[in-house]
Structure 1
Amino acid sequence: MASRKRLSPEESRLAALEAARTLLIETGPQSITLKAVGARVGRTHANLLHHFGSAAGLQKALAAHLATNVCEAIAVAVRASRAGQGSPRQVVDLAFDAFDKEGAGALASWMILTGNEDALTPIVETIHQLVDEIAPEEAETHEEIMRVHQETLALVLIAMGDALIGAALARSLGLPETAARDRAEQMLTTSMAGFTPPG
């Protein structure tokens, strides 16, 4: 019988987070338990307790994992857009897909409903770091920096709301299902144009 590959603590933790992410997408946040994740990665309940402490700890770690991956992708897209190699729509789609297709919106709602609000802290902190990192060099004044923060807040809130009720609300208002994304794209396009250096 082949022996199971021994993973480093970091590899084991990452495998568990990826398994949790798959469960989140396939069956929703309520399915992210230590037992379910352990079964996916062939690890014991005790092993996962060592890494995460509890199911709530696992959810918090998953939230941070998702936020880091999404923010890294958004940062790349923003830089590409500024270099003329991408578009504001790509940035918007990454943010919206993170909350919708990747399950971050459902996870955040579940954590709030189950009293695990502090698990949102890593998401908020990661987004804040992203904003500080990608804020245009042209945003030098306090007012300009605050504008970038306000627009990031709006983008995240729109993406979160769209993941939860966007499609149903758009249909009821007679709007296309992409209406929230279209609005966010318009906002981001205007913002980026406002920071274009003078020629």
Structure 2
Amino acid sequence: MATLRKRLSPADAREAALAAAQALLIEAGPQAVTLKAVGGRIGRTHANLLHHFGSAEGLQLALIARMTSDITATIRDALLLDRPAEPDPRRIVDLVFDAFDGGGAGALASWMILTGNRDALDPILSAVRALVEDLTAGVEPACRPIQDETLHLVLMALGDALLGAPMARALGLPRDRARALAATMLAAPLAADG
């Protein structure tokens, strides 16, 4: 376990704490993202982290806001790079599903909500709304609005992050079946137009 002993700027200390929190999230799940665990990982005190985040809940909210910002920036960049060509539905699906599952955002958001922190969704909802507004700016309305596609895709990705593996196993389906279904859903309007 490497510890940071040098003096960090407030921004660098906050970033180190968030990076450690995300690593803990991925390694051990949302319940592991505590001030004590993060402080131990980066060689800072509980009081130091309280100064930056106010509480464990504040740390978790900052983490989910950071993760959501990174996720939506990646998706925005991928979609804007594809313009004016049609975006690859499977690529979009993989980005969204990976964010919720591999990055731990789905587990963290669900855990925070289940423990009574309904504010946990605010950063996700704000970032998704901003992304949809960016992507629809100056674009003719599609046969199926991007808002519908986004709702469907995010709910599928969150559900897959929480229950996808055991549900696929129980039904005898390949693990990536939900991704394939989501890609088919996204591609359907493209096929209908073409």
Q: Cα distance, 1:146 vs. partner?
A: 7.9
Give the superposed CA RMSD.
Answer: 2.3
Give the Cα separation in 2 of the matches to 1:192 and 1:26: 38
Give the Cα separation in 1 of the matches to 2:61 and 2:30: 12
> In the alignment, what sits opposite 1:120?
121
Q: Cα distance, 1:85 vs. partner?
A: 9.2
**Could you list the runs of 5+ residues in structure 1 that have no partner in the other structure?**
none
1:37 maps to amino acid = V
Q: Cα distance, 1:194 vs. partner?
A: 7.1
> In the alignment, what sits opposite 1:105?
106
Normalising by structure 1, we get a TM-score of 0.87
1:113 maps to amino acid = L
Give the Cα separation in 1 of the matches to 2:140 and 2:128: 18
Give the Cα separation in 1 of the matches to 2:68 and 2:192: 27
Give the Cα separation in 1 of the matches to 2:181 and 2:51: 44
* Residue number among 131, 134, 150 corresponding to 1:152 in the alignment: 150
Q: Cα distance, 1:139 vs. partner?
A: 3.1
> In the alignment, what sits opposite 2:82?
81
> In the alignment, what sits opposite 2:67?
66
Give the Cα separation in 2 of the matches to 1:36 and 1:164: 24
Quick one: percent identity of the two aligned structures? 55
Change (3 A) 1:157 1:6: same
Q: Secondary structure at the match of 1:139?
A: coil
Q: Cα distance, 1:151 vs. partner?
A: 0.9
Please, which moves more after superposition, 151-160 or 79-88? 79-88
Asked whether the 8 Å contact 2:106–2:162 carries over to 1, the reply is yes
Q: Cα distance, 1:190 vs. partner?
A: 3.2
Runs of 4+ in 1 over 4 A off after TM superposition: 83-86, 191-196
Q: Cα distance, 1:135 vs. partner?
A: 2.2
Asked whether the 8 Å contact 2:143–2:189 carries over to 1, the reply is no
1:51 maps to amino acid = H
2:113 maps to amino acid = I
Q: Cα distance, 1:43 vs. partner?
A: 1.3
2:138 maps to amino acid = E
Q: Cα distance, 1:115 vs. partner?
A: 0.6
* Residue number among 159, 164, 167 corresponding to 1:166 in the alignment: 164
Q: Secondary structure at the match of 2:112?
A: helix
1:76 maps to amino acid = D
1:96 maps to amino acid = F
Q: Cα distance, 1:128 vs. partner?
A: 0.9
Give the Cα separation in 2 of the matches to 1:185 and 1:192: 11
Asked whether the 8 Å contact 1:135–1:145 carries over to 2, the reply is no
Matches within 5 A, 1:1-16: 4-16=5-17
Q: Secondary structure at the match of 1:5?
A: coil
2:130 maps to amino acid = Q
Change (3 A) 1:86 1:151: closer
Normalising by structure 2, we get a TM-score of 0.89
Give the Cα separation in 1 of the matches to 2:193 and 2:122: 29
> In the alignment, what sits opposite 1:130?
131
> In the alignment, what sits opposite 1:20?
21
> In the alignment, what sits opposite 1:187?
185
1:158 maps to amino acid = M
Asked whether the 8 Å contact 1:78–1:88 carries over to 2, the reply is no
Change (3 A) 1:59 1:194: farther
Give the Cα separation in 2 of the matches to 1:195 and 1:13: 47
Please, which moves more after superposition, 87-96 or 165-174? 165-174
